[in-house]
Amino acid sequence: MNETLKIAVQKSGRLYEGSMKLLKECGIEVSNGNNQLRVQAANFPIEIFFLRDDDIPEYVQDAVADIGFVGENVVREKNKKVDQLENLGFGKCRLSLAIPKNGSLQKAEDLNGKRIATSYPVILGEYLREKNINASIHEISGSVEIAPRIGLADAICDLVSSGSTLFTNELKELEILLRSEAVLISNNNLTATKKMILESLLFRIRSVKKAKNNKYVLLNAPNDKLDIICSLLPGMRSPTILPLAETGWSSVHSVISESDFWNIIEKLKSNGAQGILIIPIEKMIL
C-alpha cells in the first residue's frame, strides 16, 4: 500500500470547521459524514484522524499521527517534541490574565500571594516565574471564568477571543501571556515520502493563505494619471494595463494586500481612479 500522511484534526470544537475548510480550500476532499474516527481523503494521500485537541501534540510526537492542526496555546502548554511549521490563520485568540473588574487587584504584581485559576498551568507558571510573582495556580479544566465569583480564585488565566465571557463575568483583562492561532505541527522524524506529501500540502496551504491576504483590483484610469496610479499598485509583477474603448482611458488590473487595502483605495480615488472593483482571489501561486 502506498504511504499516506496521517493528519490529526480536532474531532469537534472551535478548530474543527476551520481545519476542514482549510483542507477543502487545498482541494482535499474528505467526507466525515458518519462521524468516523479516521477517514482517507479521496484525492490526496492523507488520512485524517479526529481527536481531542489536547491529545494532538502527544500523538504527533509519538507518530500516531504525522502532523496535526492545533492551537498554539495547546502546543505551548503540552510542551511535546514536535516541529511547529506554519500558522494557519484561524482559531485566533489570546491567553490572558484577568481580574475582577471592581476588586482590589490592579496590576500583575498585586497577584503575589493570590490564587489564579487556569487550564494552562505550564504557560502561567512560566510567566509567574519570569515576573517573579509568587501566586498559587489552581488547575481547573473548564468554566475557569466563574472561579473568582465562587471564591475559588482571585484571578484567572484563560483564553479570550471576543472578551464577552470576561465581560459577563465582571472580569477585565490584565495582561496577555500569549497570542495564539491554529498551527500545523509535525513529527520530527518523517519518512522521505511523508515529507514530500507534507511539502505538497504546505505549498497548497501557503497558496490559500496568500490568496486570503490579497485582493484583485480592477479600475479605470485616465491615461495621464496612469503613472501615479501604477506606482500605488505594486502587484505581483507590475499592473496590467489595457486600453478602454473610450479614448484617453485605460483599465488597470493588479493585486493588493488586505492590510494596505483601505489606504491604497483612498489614494487611488484621489488620483482619479474610477469604477474600482475589488475581487477575492481563490488561490495565489507565485
Residues that bind Zn ion (CB under 5 A): 53-54
Nearer to Zn ion by Cβ, of 16 and 249: the residue is 16
**Candidates 11-19, 34-42, 215-223, 235-243 — which segment interacts with ligand PRT by CB under 6 A?**
11-19
Q: Taking the complex as a whole, how short is the minimal distance between the CB of residue 165 and ligand PRT, in angstroms?
A: 3
Nearer to Zn ion by Cβ, of 53 and 145: the residue is 53
Q: Which residues, in sequence order, are bridge partners of residue 183?
A: 70, 87
Residue showing cell 472561579: 147
Residue 93 binds ligand PRT (CB under 6 A)? yes
Q: Taking the complex as a whole, how short is the minimal distance between the CB of residue 113 and ligand PRT, in angstroms?
A: 26
Q: Taking the complex as a whole, how short is the minimal distance between the CB of residue 242 and ligand PRT, in angstroms?
A: 44
164: partner contacted, choices ligand PRT, Zn ion, none (Cβ within 5-8 A by kind): ligand PRT
Residue 159 binds ligand PRT (CB under 6 A)? yes
Q: Which of 2, 132, 164, 270 binds ligand PRT (CB under 6 A)?
A: 164
Residue 54 binds ligand PRT (CB under 6 A)? yes
Per residue, the 3-state secondary structure of 98-109, as one string, reads EEECCCCCCCHH
Residue 79 binds ligand PRT (CB under 6 A)? no
Residue 160 binds ligand PRT (CB under 6 A)? yes
Number of residues that bind ligand PRT (CB under 6 A): 21
Q: Which of 19, 61, 73, 96 binds ligand PRT (CB under 6 A)?
A: 73
118: partner contacted, choices Zn ion, ligand PRT, none (Cβ within 5-8 A by kind): none
Which phi and psi angles does 168 have, rounded to 5°? -70, -20
Total length of the chain: 286
74: partner contacted, choices Zn ion, ligand PRT, none (Cβ within 5-8 A by kind): ligand PRT
Q: Taking the complex as a whole, how short is the minimal distance between the CB of residue 14 and ligand PRT, in angstroms?
A: 4
Q: How many CB atoms lie within 10 A of CB 241?
A: 15
Question: Measuring CA to CA, which residue among 157, 167, 172, 54 is closest to residue 105?
Answer: 172
- Between CA 118 and CA 274 the distance in angstroms is 54
The interface with ligand PRT within residues 223-282 (CB under 6 A) comprises none
Spatial contact of 83 and 185, defined as CB atoms under 8 Å apart: yes
Q: Taking the complex as a whole, how short is the minimal distance between the CB of residue 54 and Zn ion, in angstroms?
A: 4
**Candidates 30-38, 40-48, 66-74, 264-272 — which segment interacts with ligand PRT by CB under 6 A?**
66-74
The interface with ligand PRT within residues 167-196 (CB under 6 A) comprises 180
Residue 52 binds ligand PRT (CB under 6 A)? yes
Residue numbers of the site for ligand PRT (CB under 6 A)? 10, 13-15, 52-54, 71, 73-74, 91, 93, 158-165, 180
